[in-house]
Structure 1
Amino acid sequence: MQEHELNERKWYLATKVLTSGLNADEQAEWEALKNDLAFQQEFTLVEKYWLKMDGLPYQQINAEKDWKLVWDTIRQQVPVREQRTAIPWLRYAAVFLVCMAISFFIGARFSGILSNSDNTAQLTTIEAPAGSKTYVTLPDSSHVWLNAKSKITFNKDFGAENRHLRLEGEAFFDVVKMKVPFRVETPLYTVAVLGTAFNIKAYSDDDRATTTLVRGLINIERTTKAGKTEVTPLKPNEKLIASRTSNRGAAFAGEYTFQVERGVDAAMETAWKDGWLSVQGESLNELAKKIERLYDIKINFQDEELQRYRYTGRLRQLSLEQVLKALSLTSPIEFTIAEKTVTLRENQSTKSKYNSLQVP
């Protein structure tokens, strides 16, 4: 693993230590890092300021301003003679700290229901831009992991009396059980729960939206063309799939069909939040969209036939080049990377080996 990827992995683990906690495998990695004295010194400093983040202006979020505040504070604690070597990873830590602290303390400050009234100016939006993911603790102590290019929006009164938010993109929710329903609104339907864990994927540039239940029970509510409310219950390891059947127009426009798939691998569906790139019978065209969001790039197909190849499996989210090399070992593709653009083309010498993998 290259040095910069190793350091990114260290700070990924550090962030989970400060927020959602480590699983067994990650805990073993963390224990091994205790021998890395330089990293431990940086982490100790970051942890110190993580616990003192109450002074940031979270109701009016300014990521650049907040980052500078955290970075300037950390820099003051590092002797000038050490800054040349410390700055790259302290900078990374500071950026990670601001993103996570903004998410956490927004959750600690607000409580209520989302509305379209005059309170619009008091809506809070938490966003994971392309190329990143964000973890959030909401005011009711529910946990949310936002995938790349996703965001949630809720009113300043979100909390004990009403729990209603909007989602654009993909998120995994681990909801604390309360008498008040937790409602997630998407452009196609609303997911209503009391206490459960589930994943919603509803990107505006996809032709389908999905909701997968990990545990508990959820109801998916949507309004039919006749104006009636239709409720679809889901049990663990079930997934609702909303597929567009008409030609694409505006985002979420056109006709959709709704079906429930049973016996799905919920762990694969939610593996992205733990640093995996997972696919289950998805075309390269669908996979390319995931890679674009994950690495904040644009993928062009020189040969459109490549879009038909399908993949199943999961891959650790390493560097972009490593992911593309892994794909080239399992399908007849070649690639070039020019700044933030990737071009995929067929590898004619290996094409005949993979014809069976194409969509019928």
Structure 2
Amino acid sequence: MMNREELISKWLNNDLNDREFEAFKKLEDYDDLVKLSDSLQAFKVEDFNTSMELDKVLKTIKSSKKQSFNWVKPFMRVAAILAICFSLYYYTTTLDTKIATEFAQKTTIELPDASSVSLNAKSLLAFNKNAWKNEREVTLEGEAFFKVAKGSSFHVNTKSGTVKVYGTQFNVKQRDDYFEVICYEGLVGVIYNSQETKLKPGDSFLIIDGKQIAKEKENRTTPSWLNNESTFKSLPYKEVIAEFERQYHVDIKLVNIDANQLFTGSFAHNNLEIALKAITLPLHVTYSKTNHTITLKGE
């Protein structure tokens, strides 16, 4: 049998089944709880003055003690429930929305202002719906392509740096010691080490192992991974391997291979055998497979 606290908790979350609701109605303070719930509908977090309400509670408790000690226990019970309700309401309105992708998974999310975000494999996006009108801001771990609707400033926060947007389409990739932003449309500002770099369509900003890398003009209109293909231009082989692992959910071991040698090429996300040939043949590398582990061997 569910205890009183569990019944009240599930009731606050609107999660009672029919049998539990019948048990809830038999609680001795059922009427007080329902009245409290109805009155709470008129409250908003921003109108609640904690110091003022606490002062009122303390004065009422003092007054109740003088009149009758029997009022103290039920009053304190209701006051405690009131505090819990306000805490729950505050928690749910400040909670971030988080969307995560797993290995070999992609997804597209629509933000509250109709901006859209496409998440690449093994990535995480977080934002707050309730604060969106005042501040359009997201946090990204991994890689995502953004189509930002016109409006107030839009920020993408990553562990490596912040991307400031002025209404545009762009791609952000932040993986360990790799940070890249590519502008496809509009204007993007990349804030890295407290300095802002403006990117126009076709411009890129790339940091690998703490060093800024110059890149050729981007001639695509969208990143290749949206079409299930990863493309690389003179990038360290270790970055190719890391992306391959995310797209195919495998572990790759390198034997007699320089992980920092530069690689130019691409691989598809829908055929493991063809993809393996695409990343090994150009470097004259052989491979073998054991379950989810792939070993690449150099000459």
Give the alignment's TM-score, normalised by structure 1: 0.54
Q: Distance in 1 between matches of 2:206 and 2:268?
A: 26
Deviation of the 1:217 alpha carbon? 0.6
Output one character per residue of 1:240-282: Cα deviation in whole Å (capped at 9) or x when no partner: 12233xxxxxxxxxxx3446x4642252871111111211112
Whether 1:203 and 2:175 are equivalent positions in the alignment is yes
Structural mapping, 1:187-336, within 5 Å: 187-204=159-176, 207-222=177-192, 224=193, 229-244=194-209, 256-258=210-212, 261=214, 263-267=216-220, 270-305=223-258, 307-336=259-288
Deviation of the 1:284 alpha carbon? 2.3
1:309–1:269 CA distance, 2 compared to 1 (3 A): farther
1:220–1:118 CA distance, 2 compared to 1 (3 A): farther
> Which of 135, 148, 160 is the aligned partner of 2:108?
135
Q: Distance in 2 between matches of 1:159 and 1:326?
A: 43
Output one character per residue of 1:105-140: Cα deviation in whole Å (capped at 9) or x when no partner: xxxxxxxxxxxx966961111111112111111111
Contact conserved, 1:171 with 1:200, CA < 8 A, in 2?
yes
Q: Which runs of 5+ in 1 are unaligned?
A: 1-59, 61-116, 245-255, 349-360
> Which of 179, 183, 207 is the aligned partner of 2:155?
183
Equivalent residue, structure 1, for 2:8: none
Q: Distance in 2 between matches of 1:243 and 1:311?
A: 14
Q: Distance in 1 between matches of 2:218 and 2:149?
A: 23
Deviation of the 1:238 alpha carbon? 1.0
Deviation of the 1:159 alpha carbon? 3.4
Equivalent residue, structure 1, for 2:292: 340
Deviation of the 1:310 alpha carbon? 3.2
Q: Distance in 1 between matches of 2:92 and 2:165?
A: 25
Output one character per residue of 1:223-253: Cα deviation in whole Å (capped at 9) or x when no partner: x4xxxx4222111111112233xxxxxxxxx
Q: Distance in 1 between matches of 2:169 and 2:250?
A: 30
Q: Which amino acid aligns with 2:268?
A: R
Q: Distance in 2 between matches of 1:177 and 1:137?
A: 14
Q: Distance in 1 between matches of 2:117 and 2:237?
A: 28
Contact conserved, 1:213 with 1:234, CA < 8 A, in 2?
yes
Q: Which runs of 5+ in 2 are unaligned?
A: 1-12, 14-89
| 4+ residue runs over 4 A deviation | 117-121
Q: Distance in 1 between matches of 2:251 and 2:189?
A: 36
Contact conserved, 1:164 with 1:184, CA < 8 A, in 2?
yes
Q: Distance in 2 between matches of 1:210 and 1:273?
A: 16
Equivalent residue, structure 2, for 1:149: 122
Contact conserved, 1:212 with 1:266, CA < 8 A, in 2?
no
Q: Distance in 2 between matches of 1:262 and 1:301?
A: 27
Q: SS state of the match for residue 304, structure 1?
A: coil
Q: Which amino acid aligns with 2:169?
A: A
Equivalent residue, structure 2, for 1:168: 141
1:292–1:121 CA distance, 2 compared to 1 (3 A): farther
**The 10-residue stretch of structure 1 (309-318 or 295-304) with the greater mean CA deviation from structure 2:** 309-318
Output one character per residue of 1:78-99: Cα deviation in whole Å (capped at 9) or x when no partner: xxxxxxxxxxxxxxxxxxxxxx
Q: SS state of the match for residue 172, structure 1?
A: strand
Contact conserved, 1:170 with 1:202, CA < 8 A, in 2?
yes
State how many pairs are aligned: 211
Q: SS state of the match for residue 314, structure 1?
A: strand
Contact conserved, 2:93 with 2:130, CA < 8 A, in 1?
no
Deviation of the 1:330 alpha carbon? 2.1
Output one character per residue of 1:53-99: Cα deviation in whole Å (capped at 9) or x when no partner: xxxxxxx9xxxxxxxxxxxxxxxxxxxxxxxxxxxxxxxxxxxxxxx
Q: SS state of the match for residue 220, structure 2?
A: helix
Deviation of the 1:343 alpha carbon? 0.7
Q: SS state of the match for residue 98, structure 2?
A: strand
Q: Which amino acid aligns with 1:239?
A: S
Deviation of the 1:327 alpha carbon? 2.9
